[in-house]
Structure 1
Amino acid sequence: MARIQVVDETRAEGPLKEVYAEIARKRGSVANVFKIESLNPAVMRAHLDFYMSIMYGKSGLSRQQREMIATAVSNANGCHYCTTHHSEALWKYIRDDATIQAVKADFAAAPVGPKEKAMLAYAIRVTKLPAAVNEVDIERLRQAGFSDADILDMTLVASYFNFVNRLVLSLGVRLERDEDRVYKY
């Protein structure tokens, strides 16, 4: 499964067993991206809490918009694992393979609105050139109709996926079988 030791749910004890149970309850099953953190249950729990907050918490960004960011950023980073997971989640909202493929491959040509295109352009800029982000980028988002709270949320989502993509890629997290990817979106 990975380049480091992973403690499976069947061998988990104590705090790790509790975190696995919490993840399964909240998400439907335990994804390998969480299992990779099994040697540090406190980090796994913090990761779950952060993920749930930025992806499901109260926000001016819709769940669809957040999944679009997750998909585009993960694809830009070459993270097949996260691109697959979040393309599947995005399907729950868009239900159009061509649009999802366009969000991954060339969001500028994707059949989405100008607001979403501005959001995705910003997310990719945060991913590829974070030090180059400037007031012009922020003003472009405001002009597209995003509030400063929305801009914070999209930055959090993009930054989170840059972190997780690196975790997955560096430690060799493997994609679960199709039948094992059963999550609450």
Structure 2
Amino acid sequence: MAWIKQINENEATGKLKQVYDEILNTRGKISNVMKIHSIDVDSMKHHLDLYLSIIYSESNISKEEKELIAVVVSSINNCSYCIHHHAEALKNFWDDESKINMLISDYKSIEFPIRVHAILNYAEKLTVTPGLVNEYDVQNLRIHDLSDEDILNVNLIVSYFNFVSRIANGLGVETSEEEAKGYKY
């Protein structure tokens, strides 16, 4: 149970009901990390718009790569809510549960294309030591065929999942196997 009050879908009225309906339409169900915003509907709407823009916009960063970033950042932040949600999303690309568990515990032990390792290494550094990220780190992404637009997209994805991990961990947002399943990807 979250540590602050929430308004469930069946109790929502007005603008909150409209935003919940939009979430149901775009995602198929309402996640607990969105429900935690229910007492501040404007923040929920802005969060939803940011999420949809970063995760569902067309880019050279594949949906699989976006989910890899999500799981790695969430694992580093020890955010069980985000780990469960994005490990579940990753099952759309991987049917190997042991590989997903390896990703959660030590992504460096998995043989990825060098581009993916470069992206995940950047994600780790930006998450663990953001003040130490430097131009060399960005240049390393360019060397691995990421454009400046791709680099911005990776940075936004990493930053977004750091943001969400702190919301979930900081407000006691919980998940269950059932809650983490059934979303539109």
State if a TM-score over 0.5 links the two structures: yes
After superposition, the C-alpha distances for 1:66-91 in whole angstroms (9 at most, x for unaligned) are 00000000010000000000011011
Tell me the CA shift for residue 102 of structure 1. Answer: 2.3
Any conservation in 1 of the 2:75–2:83 contact (CA below 8 Å)?
A: yes
RMSD: 1.2
Kindly report which structure 2 residues correspond to 1:1-185, keeping only aligned pairs within 5 A, or say none. Answer: 1-178=1-178, 181-185=181-185
Any conservation in 2 of the 1:36–1:173 contact (CA below 8 Å)?
A: yes
Q: Give the Cα–Cα distance (whole angstroms) in 2 for the partners of residues 103 and 48 of structure 1.
A: 26
Any conservation in 1 of the 2:70–2:86 contact (CA below 8 Å)?
A: yes
Tell me the CA shift for residue 177 of structure 1. Answer: 4.5
Query: TM-score, normalization: structure 2?
Result: 0.96
Q: Give the Cα–Cα distance (whole angstroms) in 1 for the partners of residues 99 and 77 of structure 2.
A: 19
Q: What's the secondary structure of 1:6's corresponding residue?
A: coil
* Letter paired with 2:86: H
Any conservation in 2 of the 1:2–1:173 contact (CA below 8 Å)?
A: yes
Provide structure 2 residue ranges, at least 5 long, that are not aligned to the other structure: none
Q: After alignment, is 39-48 or 97-106 more displaced?
A: 97-106
Tell me the CA shift for residue 106 of structure 1. Answer: 1.4
Aligned pair count?
Answer: 185
After superposition, the C-alpha distances for 1:103-159 in whole angstroms (9 at most, x for unaligned) are 222111112111111100000111001110011111111111111111110110000
Q: What's the secondary structure of 1:75's corresponding residue?
A: helix
Identity of aligned residues (%): 42
Provide structure 1 residue ranges, at least 5 long, that are not aligned to the other structure: none
